[in-house]
Structure 1
Amino acid sequence: MNQFEEQAEIIRQEELTPEIFRLTVKAPEIASHALPGQFVMVRTAPCYDPLLRRPLSIHQTIGNQQVQLLYKVVGKGTRMLAAMRPGHTLNLTGPLGNGFAFKNRPAICLIGGGMGIAPLYFLAREILRVTTPPKCVVLLGGRTAAELGPLPRDFKDIGMTEIHSATDDGSLGHHGFVAELLPKHLDSGHDWTVCACGPHPMMKAVVGQCRQQGWQCQVSLETMMACGISACLGCAIPRADLSGPYLHVCKDGPVFNAEEVAWL
C-alpha cells in the first residue's frame, strides 16, 4: 500500500454549519492513490501542542490533485484546524487503511450517521464512476436538518437518485434514527451490500438487521487513534469470536466485514 507524507496547501475552508467544516487541500500523491474508506492523519499545528495527529476520513478527491476532508469541531486540534485559511499548509500522512469493496455488487446501500457520512460521499462518487448497480440507496442521519446541512443535496448533485434522511428531531425526513430506514427502503428481493459508517449504536442496529436479512454488511469504524500505522496499538477492537489477537482499526480497517467485529 502506498503511503505518503505531504505538506498540503489549504485551497478552501468551508463552514457548512457552526460546527462542521469542509477542508480542501492540495495533496496530489495522496489524492491519486486514495480509495473510498481510507483516511489521513493530520497534524493540526506546526508545534507539538496538540501532540497527536487527528485521523480524518477522505471525503473526496478532486482531479488526482486535491483531497477534501469533512470534520466537526470537537476539541483543541479541530478548533485550530477550523481557524486555518487558504494558503496555510498542513502536514498529512496517507492514504491509510483499507477501503470499501463495492465493485460488481447488484444492490448497494450507503448508510451514514453524523460525521460517519464523510467517507460515504467519496464512495458514492466512485460507485457512479466505475460501476452501475441496478439499485443504489443512500440513507443519511443526523440530530437535526441543520446538522446535515448541504450533504443530502451533495449526494443528489453527483447523480444519486434515491436519498432518504432521518433526524432525531424530525426536522428533515424520518423522525427517528437512520437505521429505522433500512426496512422502509431496502426490499428483500435484492442481494444488498450495506456500507455503514457512524456512531456505534447506529451501526450495531444496522448490522443486526443485515444479519437477519442475510445481507452483506461492511462497516467503517471510528476510534481514538494516535499513529495511524498500528505502532501505538491504541485503536484495538475485539474480534467477533473474542479470541486471538485484537483487530486494529488503522491497519485492519477502518472498513471491516461486519461479521469480523464483536458488537458488544
Structure 2
Amino acid sequence: MTARLEEAVVAANELIAAGVYRLVIHAPRMAAAAQPGQFVHLKVNNLTAPLLRRPISIADTDQSAGTLDLIYRIVGGGTAFLSGVPVGEHLDCLGPLGKGFALECERPLLVGGGMGLAPLVYLAKALCPRPITVLMGGRTKDELFWEDVFAPVCDQLRLTTDDGTAGTRGYTVDVLPELIKTGNFDQVYTCGPRPMMEQAARIAKQYNIACQVSLEEYMACGLGGCLACSCAGTDGKRRKVCTEGPVFQAGEVFGGC
C-alpha cells in the first residue's frame, strides 16, 4: 500500500436517501491506484471543520475521469459537516488506504447490511463479468436504495428487511444457508454490522466456503501509528484495521471461522 496525500476537489455531494450522501471527488492519482475494499481519509480544509479525518469506504472509481465515489451516512458532527461541503470545495484526502479484497474466485456471494454495502459496490464491479449474487439487508425498504445501485452489476439480488417491507422478512443470515445450498459459491464477501458478519462467516465455514470480512473501526491516523483501530486477532495478537485490514480472512478475526 502506498498512501497518497492529494488535494481532492468535490465534483458532487448529493443526498441519495434519508441521511445518506454520495460524494464524488476528483483525485486522479487515488482513482488510478484504488482497489476494492480500500478507503480514504478525508479532512475538510476549513478552520471550523472537525480536527480528525473521517474514513470512508471507496464505493466506485472512474479512472478516465479521475474520480472516486464515496457513499456515507450522517452519524455525527464530522459527517454532518461533510454533507454541507459544496461542489468545487477542496478536501485534504489521504489514500487509498488499507488492504482490499482478494478477487480470486469464480462464483462470488456478497453479503452486506446497512452502510456496509458501500465497499461491496466497487467489489461487484471489479468481479464482473463473473456471475455475482448479492444478499443485502436493511431495517426497512427505505434503506435498500442499494437495489438500484447493484442491479446492473449482479446476476441475482436477494433482499431482506427487519420489518418485511421489502424482500424476505428477517435478517440476511436467516436466508443465507438456503442461498448457499443453491448457489455453488466458492467465496463469500461480507461487510456490515459485526454480528451479521460473524454469523455469515460461520455459515460459510459450515459449507466449506472461504469468507472475507471488511471491518469498520474508529480511526485517527489511518496509517497504523495511533493503534486506535486495532482489534483482537484469533491468534492472540492485535491487528491494525487501517493497515492490516480493513479486509481480513474471516478466520483471522472471528473465532470458529
Query: Which TM-score tier does this pair reach, normalised by the shorter chain?
Result: over 0.9
Once superposed, what is the RMSD of the aligned Cα atoms?
A: 1.6
SS in structure 2 at match of 1:211: helix
| Offset, 1:47 | 2.5
Structure 2: 5+ residue stretches without partners: none
- Aligned residues of 2:10 and 2:91 also touching (Cα < 8 A): yes
> What is aligned with 1:42?
42
Structure 1: 5+ residue stretches without partners: none
Q: Is residue 139 of structure 2 the alignment partner of residue 143 of structure 1?
A: yes
> What is aligned with 1:59?
59
- Aligned residues of 1:106 and 1:190 also touching (Cα < 8 A): no
- Aligned residues of 2:27 and 2:68 also touching (Cα < 8 A): yes
Q: Is residue 217 of structure 2 the alignment partner of residue 217 of structure 1?
A: no
- Aligned residues of 1:44 and 1:78 also touching (Cα < 8 A): no
| Offset, 1:45 | 4.9
Identity of aligned residues (%): 39
Provide closer, same or farther for how the CA distance between residues 27 and 262 of structure 1 changes in structure 2, counting only shifts above 3 A: same
- In structure 2, what is the Cα distance between the partners aligned to 1:230 and 1:148? 33
- Aligned residues of 1:141 and 1:167 also touching (Cα < 8 A): yes
Q: Is residue 245 of structure 2 the alignment partner of residue 253 of structure 1?
A: yes
Q: Deviations over 1:144-201 (max 9, x none)?
A: 111122x1111112x3120111111111111111122212222267252000000011
> What is aligned with 1:204?
198
Q: Deviations over 1:14-57 (max 9, x none)?
A: 21112111110101010000000000001135227421111100
The 5 A counterparts of 1:105-144 are: 105-128=105-128, 132-133=129-130, 135-144=131-140
SS in structure 1 at match of 2:199: helix
| Offset, 1:82 | 0.5
SS in structure 2 at match of 1:184: helix
From 147, 151, 162, the counterpart of 1:156: 151
| Offset, 1:109 | 0.4
Count residues in correspondence.
255
From 200, 208, 226, the counterpart of 2:220: 226
SS in structure 2 at match of 1:169: coil
TM-score scaled by length of structure 2? 0.94
- Aligned residues of 1:169 and 1:176 also touching (Cα < 8 A): yes
- Aligned residues of 1:197 and 1:220 also touching (Cα < 8 A): yes
Give, as a single letter, the amino acid of the residue that structure 1 aligns with 2:164.
Answer: G
- Aligned residues of 1:10 and 1:90 also touching (Cα < 8 A): yes
- Aligned residues of 2:124 and 2:132 also touching (Cα < 8 A): no
- In structure 2, what is the Cα distance between the partners aligned to 1:189 and 1:200? 24
- In structure 2, what is the Cα distance between the partners aligned to 1:169 and 1:189? 26
- Aligned residues of 2:44 and 2:90 also touching (Cα < 8 A): no
- In structure 2, what is the Cα distance between the partners aligned to 1:161 and 1:255? 24
From 160, 164, 169, the counterpart of 2:163: 169
- In structure 2, what is the Cα distance between the partners aligned to 1:262 and 1:156? 30
Q: Is residue 230 of structure 2 the alignment partner of residue 236 of structure 1?
A: yes
- Aligned residues of 1:39 and 1:94 also touching (Cα < 8 A): yes
> What is aligned with 1:9?
9
